[in-house]
Amino acid sequence: MLPGGPSLEPTPKANAGEHVRAFVAVDAAEELRAPIEALQDRLRSAGADVKWVGSHQFHITLKFLGDVAVGDVAAVVDAVKGAVASVPSFQMCLHGVGAFPSARQPRAVWIGATDGADAMAELAKAVDDALSPLGFERERRPFRSHLTLGRVRSDRGIVSLARRLNEEQHTAIGTMRVQQVVVMRSVLTPKGPIYTRLGLAPLKETRNR
């Protein structure tokens, strides 16, 4: 993958026993990437030991698929396309900074969604329902719309990071229109994951929604 963002790669050719690591997501809008990076910079100044997500990788995960047989990729993409084709596109606002499991003990730092959060949950459910017949286990936990900013690697600087998270808890990044879902391949490397798009699934276009 060239720097700057995930490309759309051809469906991999099936080899016996070969798998790809994949997930289904909504990419962050291009115009929101700079303000998200600015937020990361403010949090980074806390000096905590965090592996920050690169700006070209900002996304909201709808469903993590794990290892998918190469021969099943086309069926997965088709199922996702069918699931979201009748779902109207919608506006979503990225707003509210927090961490899992808590801001005082952060392990994964994220920014959440306010407007559009319910629509994102419905979108995730549609994807979940469509992939269940293909053998993917249904999600057991309630969907919570969030964009991961970074993952904490140790306790170094964690008190300072918790303080910054509290200061940024009401930060608003901006609004984007959710118009498509992407099936993404993730290749893990020592420098971090490399993402490539396996397929795009457009939502139903609406006017002034």
Say which residues have a Cβ less than 8 Å from residue 76's Cβ, sequence separation at least 6: 22, 65, 68, 131, 134, 183, 198, 199
The pTM assigned to this predicted structure is 0.88
Active site residue 146: yes
Write down the catalytic residue from 19, 56, 95, 146.
Answer: 146
What's the confidence (pLDDT) of residue 8?
58
Q: Which residues pair with 77 in a beta bridge?
A: none
For residues 84-115, one letter each, b for 16 or more C-beta atoms within 10 angstroms of the residue's C-beta and e for the rest, the string is: beebebbebbbbbbbbbeebeebeebbbbbee
Q: Is 201 helix (H, G, I), strand (E, B) or coil?
A: strand
Catalytic residue among 19, 56, 59, 95: 59
pLDDT at residue number 209: 46
Is 59 marked active-site? Answer: yes
Quick: pLDDT tens for 79-136: 999 999 999 999 999 999 999 999 889 999 999 999 999 999 999 999 999 999 999 9
For the chain, residues with pLDDT lower than 50 are 1-4, 14, 16, 209
Domains assigned to the chain: 19-202 (3.90.1140.10)
Helix (H) or strand (E) holding 91: strand 90-101
The pLDDT of residue 13 is 52
Nearest Cα residue to 109 out of 173, 189, 188, 51? 51
Give the integer Cα–Cα distance in Å for 75 and 132.
12
